[in-house]
Amino acid sequence: MDEQVLGNIPALPPHQYPTWVKLFGVGIIVATIYPLILLPKYLVAAKKMRAAVVAYKTGDYDQSIKLYQSVLEVMPTSKAARIGAVEAIFSNGDKGDDEVGLNLLRGRTLDKNDWRRIKWVMPVEYQQYFDEVKQ
């Protein structure tokens, strides 16, 4: 008997979502997929960043510089990679690289900790080009 009662009930029409809901859903999908596409590139950069720090701490400044520069190719705005590269450049003892280090600092504002880190290894003749700002 239940089948006869159910057979007499008309089916509901299919629901249609408004266009704005569909567009919002597409936006969410794109916002999820795009970072996943970029993820491998940033994971490689993070591994190189850790390797650059290890190379710097073990005194392999040339390898550290190469690794930091490859990180900066992927993430040119990375402050940590920029400061690490400058620190390695000034630590390697090769005066020919110093201009590259100075160019990496051009137009940047450093906090006190970053300045202390760089000042520790920066040749004295270059320190005159920088103004210390009180914070």
Per residue in 83-97, pLDDT tens?
A: 999 999 988 877 778
CB 101 within 8 A of CB 89: yes
Which among 55, 131, 126, 129 has a CA at the least distance from the CA of 97?
Answer: 126
Q: Indicate whether 133 pLDDT > 60.
A: no
Residue with tokens 């137009």: 107
Give the list of residues 6+ apart from residue 108 with CB closer than 8 angstroms, or none. 79, 82
pLDDT tens-digit series, residues 10-68: 776 788 889 999 999 999 999 999 999 989 999 999 999 999 999 999 999 999 999 99
Instruction: State the pLDDT at residue 1.
Output: 52
Instruction: State the pLDDT at residue 5.
Output: 64
Amino acid at 44: V
Instruction: State the pLDDT at residue 51.
Output: 96
Global pTM value:
0.73
Instruction: State the pLDDT at residue 26.
Output: 96
User: What sign does the CA torsion over 82, 97, 122, 104 have?
Assistant: negative
Q: What are the domain boundaries of the chain?
A: 44-135
Residue with tokens 């596409």: 37
